[in-house]
A = this chain, B = another copy of it.
Amino acid sequence: MSNYYLGVDMGGTLIKMAIVDSKANIIEETFVYTDTTAKPKDVIKNITDVFKKFKNYHKVDSIGFGIAGAINFKDGVVRYSPNLPKWNKVQLKKEIEQITNKQVFIDNDANTAALGAYWLDIKSTVDNMVCVTLGTGVGGGIILNKKLFRGNNGTAGEIGHITIEPNGRKCNCGNIGCAETYIGVRHIVKETVDLLSKPNKSKHILKLADNDIKQITPKILSQAAKKGDLVAKQVWKNVGEKLGILLSDIIDFFNPDAIVLCGGISNAGNLITLPAKQEIKKRAFKTSAKSCKIIVSKYTSKLGVVGSAMLAKSL
């Protein structure tokens, strides 16, 4: 039996699958579209049928799944997933193990992304790393002593709900001033729309969005900022500064070797990392700040599938 691992990244649009070697090199990969209306049993059948089409499937040691939502790593149960509304209390580990006769591990997608970043961006060269997922939600995965750290009940790394403005914006989670209410996609777009509703100097955002504020996306905001749009630049500066407060907190808490930023918003690159680094310089504990590399992932689209495979390896 060779040391190959199969990773499955269960997204709301795509289910990505890959066979990966013990150094996280992708040997084979494929995907299917996610049928969010199908019964879990049928989705599971479909996925395991795809497994068999991999040429190296017989060499696979174990299988890992990454899924958004409340995932019970220990029991292998998907308690709830926002991407898969029909998936409630699905015994995913047990069912896949029965079909495949291979050991199965499941975890939430912030943790599998962290494992992916640890192997792809960091090449597993450090001991301690925090991965910050910047998308609609803001999540985090923590690698300590080269292993995922999950905490008491698997919710360690809920950094999107860290308070960064105690009297700030109301978050859906019930808290006030969560990081996500400043650096999550919805809030970035809302802030832009608010700025555009007042007298402003934007020249590119609405043009790029076909004059429809509903079409404004982070991608458009990046394009506009790169063309010099003043509103877009301001929005990214604000996001970067708030991100910097959050990263300073992470640095003070963990004194990590590295922080990897991933997810859609991380594509803004320097537009957010420069103001974030300024903020870290002002706020974080000096020794810890100096020794912590801040990296934007080069592999955002692969982190989930490779990290899921490495989840199967690491245990």
Contact = CB atoms under 8 A, between A and B. Distances in A.
Given A144-B149, A175-B282, A162 B255 contact: no
A163 B248 contact: yes
A249 B161 CA distance: 8
A283 interface: yes
A128 interface: yes
Contact of A151 (B155, B164, B256, B283): B256
Interface stretch (A24-32, A49-57, A285-293, A302-310): A285-293
A176 B279 CA distance: 11
A254 B155 CA distance: 8
A161 to B, nearest CB: 5
A127 B150 CA distance: 11
Contacts of A173: 285
A21 interface: no
A252 interface: yes
Given A164-B166, A249-B162, A128 B155 contact: no
B128 A161 contact: no
A263 to B, nearest CB: 18
A152 B248 contact: no
Contacts of A199: none
A155 B255 contact: yes
A35 interface: no
A158 interface: yes
A253 B249 CA distance: 10
B288 A162 contact: no
Given A151-B128, A164-B163, A156 B254 contact: yes
Nearest to A248: B163
Contacts of A257: 152
A142 B144 CA distance: 12
A180 to B, nearest CB: 11
Interface of A: 127-128, 142, 144-145, 149-159, 161-166, 173-176, 245, 248-250, 252-257, 282-285, 287-288, 291-292
22 contacts: A142-B253, A144-B144, A150-B255, A152-B291, A153-B255, A153-B288, A154-B255, A155-B288, A156-B255, A156-B288, A158-B252, A158-B253, A158-B255, A161-B283, A162-B248, A162-B253, A163-B245, A163-B283, A166-B245, A174-B282, A176-B282, A249-B249
Given A144-B145, A162-B253, A174-B282, 7 more contacts: A151-B255, A154-B255, A155-B255, A155-B288, A175-B248, A175-B283, A249-B249
